[in-house]
A and B are shown apart, each in its own frame.
Chain A
Amino acid sequence: MIRKSFFLSALLLALVAMTAWQSAKASGVAAAGEEEELDPIHHSVDGNYLDFSPIGKVELPRIFIISSAEGGLSVDFFLTSTAAVERGGYKASWDATHEGGEDAAAHGDDGAETIAEPLGGYYEAHLAPPGGGHVLVDMSITRHLLFAWIGMLIVWLLFTRVAKMYKAGIGRETAPRGLLQNMLETLILVVRDDIARPAIGAKTDRYLPFLLTAFFFILTCNLLGLVPFGATATSNLMVTAVLATFTFVITQVGGTKDYWMHILWPPGVPTFVKPILIPVEILGIFTKPFALAIRLFANMTAGHLVILSLIGLIFSFTNLFGSGAGYGVAPVSVAFALFIYLLELLVSFIQAYVFTMLSALFIGMAVEEHDHGHHAELSPTH
């Protein structure tokens, strides 16, 4: 992955490293095809392989729940996509619009334009099981899933280790010791004292584990996206949707009678307004987690797209005006990309904070025991 071309150990070092990486990538792209463009979307979306370009790509396991032609369900497992095609007899087809080759377009099962000719690796193809069945659910271990798991593993290892220190008495009877414990404790206290407690109040302890898990999982995933060869699990709408769904479920389960009263029979408004307000309130239940999911997804995707587009300028200039223009625009592109990279570092923390804070706010509004004197001012649609 181009955007993960350097580590933030020092700004200067990063700049030099990134420039070096760009030239390496440029030569790699040039080797792959003369007219090849860098496609930012293609590098941002999920995939069934790990991209270590220009070194190579590592295929990821495929798991399919298939519905055979006779109507039976079965599960297929292959270590790689290639194995699925070569040993499992799966049929591969490619998106016609991807990487050119529109001449050979044909209509696939799903109605989209697909072609049967191999245009890339099998890991980029749509796979269909042999014998006329179809894939019911693709349970494959994708790149984003793998990086989400890596993120979970990191969070798990970090916090069980710190928890062990607290259990041993360090930080309980004494001051916290060492960089790790101090750093993580600071973040934990931010979540507890600046996010959870002001929003939720007395019931904070019940919802704190979710908020902490969400915060550190999102933060870790965001930062993993900035590591060379990494991928951002939180730039996948499925992942953010699941996280938002957790917030949604917790909010509704924890909702007090007051909360439901506010939605189903909003107090403090004339009765003739209620038919308008009630649908709005009900819609509000769903728009809040929806906004959560979209916000995180869009923020994490946008930064990467901007970086990739800036890098892509180099190739566009090369294609349009020759390699001289490409080399000329490279330093500018790299400098801007570096700036966006730093911005993304900031955004990683901000978005983890925002998701957690809004989750806390929604939960807080739902579980709050209302002071009945102030009904008119409190509406869940805030």
Chain B
Amino acid sequence: MVLAANLLAPNAGLIFWIAITFGILLILLRRFAWGPITSALTDRESSIQDSLDEAKNALAEAKAVQADNTRARREAEADAQRIMREARDAAEKLRSEEVENTRAQLRQLQEQAQADIEREKQNALNMLREEVAHLAVDAAGKILRDTLDAERQKKIVGDMLGDLSRN
């Protein structure tokens, strides 16, 4: 059939030319076009992938740093609170100690004063006793010098004792 013959007519020359030129095109494009293009695409893809990985790592790092910072801040805050509390406690302790000391001192002073007063009182009593004894001796001397009878002696001693008790 002419119709089929026209469409399907073999043409060795055309086959030859197409085979040769397509082969050349394939070799040339492979060398000058596909090589550079595909390698560039691969480079770009790997660089994009690297960038993404880097970004992911950087993000993770940043998060870690942030977590560290938060933790450090919390710790610092806790420290500050602790220090303040300690300082307050110390101050409180110091103040109570001071009060206690003062009280003790006052008590001590009071006790000392009482002791002093007691001693002075004792001294005064002792001095009084000595004075009384002295007077008694004086009185006895007078009695002896006047050689008085017993009644008179008794009367003199009695007077003296009356004087003394009046004193």
Contacts and interface: CB of A to CB of B under 8 A. Distances in A.
Task: Give the interface residue-count category, chain A.
Answer: 35 or more
Interface stretch (B15-23, B113-121, B136-144): B15-23
B13 A138 contact: yes
A95 B22 CA distance: 32
Interface residues of B, number: 36
Interface string A35-50: 0000001101110000
A172 B44 CA distance: 5
A163 B14 contact: no
Interface of A is mostly: helix
Interface centre among A138, A141, A242 (most CB of B within 10 A): A242
Interface in A173-190: 173, 185, 188-189
A141 B40 CA distance: 37
B41 A188 contact: yes
Contacts of A166: 36-37, 40-41
Please report whether the interface of chain B is mostly helix, strand, loop or mixed according to DSSP.
Answer: helix
A156 B29 contact: yes
B13 A97 contact: no
A45 B11 CA distance: 12
User: Closest 7 interchain pairs by CB?
Assistant: A166-B40, A159-B33, A139-B13, A209-B30, A172-B40, A163-B33, A163-B36
Given A41-B7, A209-B26, A210-B26, 18 more contacts: A45-B7, A46-B9, A137-B12, A139-B17, A141-B17, A148-B21, A155-B25, A156-B28, A159-B34, A163-B33, A166-B40, A167-B40, A208-B34, A209-B29, A213-B25, A237-B8, A243-B22, A245-B19
Interface of B: 2-3, 6-19, 21-23, 25-26, 28-30, 32-38, 40-41, 43-44, 47
Interface of A: 41-42, 44-46, 63, 95, 97-98, 137-142, 144-145, 148-149, 152, 155-156, 159-160, 162-163, 166-167, 171-173, 185, 188-189, 192, 205, 208-210, 212-213, 217, 236-239, 241-243, 245-246, 301
